[in-house]
Structure 1
Amino acid sequence: MCGKTRDLRRQLRKAIIDHVSDSFLDTTVPLLVLVEAAKNGPEKEIKEYAAIFREHTTYTEGVMRHVNFLTGTGHNPEMKCILCD
């Protein structure tokens, strides 16, 4: 049972690393678009890009929570005990 658990954990870590890598490939794009809109665009356009930027940051925060959970670096001791060997 321990071997299967370790194998599953290893597979989950690989999957989350792939997910994180994909999430952070173009992290600056939403910010750069927002900055450009703030410099040149009308207020309506700025608000639209600000909403996109907020969605991106919320998504990124969620990804980081998953990383913390799967790597055992979160602050919840109940979650950490699941990952203990």
Structure 2
Amino acid sequence: MSIRSNPDQPQDELFRSRLENMIDMSHPLVKLGQCIDWKVFDREFGEDYAAKAGRPATRTRLIVGLTYLQFMYDMSDGAVVERWVVSP
């Protein structure tokens, strides 16, 4: 028996799924995220989130996205992170 491979789907790390394979791509927030020019945020905020030493910096898109969700749903820092962990 041979294993079929899908050339359109990249090989993922073992036990880690890519985010686009876990979420509903037709969800309004996904569509909003596709319309945003994320390079603007990288250019404007990138230096603020750049790691000078220690662990690698968190991606600007994640920080801005979580901040947007926090504002939109009137959530605390802990609540928005908890929601992200449960439902990325």
> Which TM-score applies when normalising by structure 1?
0.26
Q: Which structure would you say has the larger RCO, counting Cα contacts within 8 Å and 6 or more residues apart?
A: 1
Please say which structure displays the higher CA radius of gyration: 1
Q: Larger helix proportion, structure 1 or 2? A: 1
